[in-house]
Amino acid sequence: MTRSPYSRSSFKSSGVFACQCCGHQTRESGQDDDRFCNPCVELMMMGNTLSDDGLENFLPWGPKARDQWVAKIAKRGGDVAKVRAFMPRLFAPEVAA
């Protein structure tokens, strides 16, 4: 028995996945790591900046930008509580707006 050329296994994957940080269903971005959606990647980069540059350099701009990305995640249906648990340093009390 031959397999149909139109069988499900002959089509390429749609590239849709659940972000491992917020759970939002998103598409592949073509970036190096396609396990996370773009807003979560942006927050992770902000966390790296906080670690690299220190709190005093992060506070003038970081909390406002962080809150904007979190609002985008919430608007898209992502789980903000999961994001906070995934990146606790970025949401620590000393990093409050």
State how far the Cα of 69 lies from the Cα of 62, in Å rounded to an integer: 11
pLDDT at 90: 94
Cβ-contact 17, 25 below 8 angstroms: yes
User: Residue 50 half-sphere exposure, CB side, CA atoms within 13 Å?
Assistant: 23
Look at residue 26 and give its three-state secondary structure. strand
pLDDT at 29: 64
pLDDT at 59: 93
State how far the Cα of 55 lies from the Cα of 94, in Å rounded to an integer: 8
Which residues in the chain show pLDDT less than 50? 10
pTM of this structure: 0.78
